[in-house]
Amino acid sequence: MLALSFSFVSCRETADKANEAAEAAADAAEEAGEAMGDAAEGAMDKAGEAVDAVKEAGDDAVDAAGDAVDSAKDAAGNAVDAVKDAGNDAADKAKEVGGDIKDAANKTADKAKEAAKEVEDKVKN
């Protein structure tokens, strides 16, 4: 009977230890699962941050390209304005020179008329 009691107690202790080991394994598996979930969540957060950074860099590049296009348009507009102003200045100078030439030609014609009149008057006299 004593052997039977030892055997029964021993089996019960073994069963209890087996249950404790199973519970410990279940707890460890649960903790490992939570750790994996946390790691996956952290990885997803980092991936999201990386996507946001790439998107932001892309937006910055688009903005820079737009600024470059605007600058090129402004420079082209300024060049056109400068050429237009130079053309207008040249036209104004040409008008001035043309006016001066016309005035000189009129003066010369008047002097020639006066000289011709003087010659005519001298011939008549």
pLDDT score of 28? 83
pLDDT band at 7 (very low <50, low <70, confident <90, very high): low
pLDDT score of 10? 57
The DSSP call for residue 124 is H
Q: What residue type is 100 in one-letter code?
A: D
Percent over 90 (pLDDT), the chain = 0
| Lowest mean per-residue pLDDT among 15-24, 34-43, 65-74, 82-91 | 15-24
Does the pTM surpass 0.75? The reply is no
The token pair at 77 is 């507009």
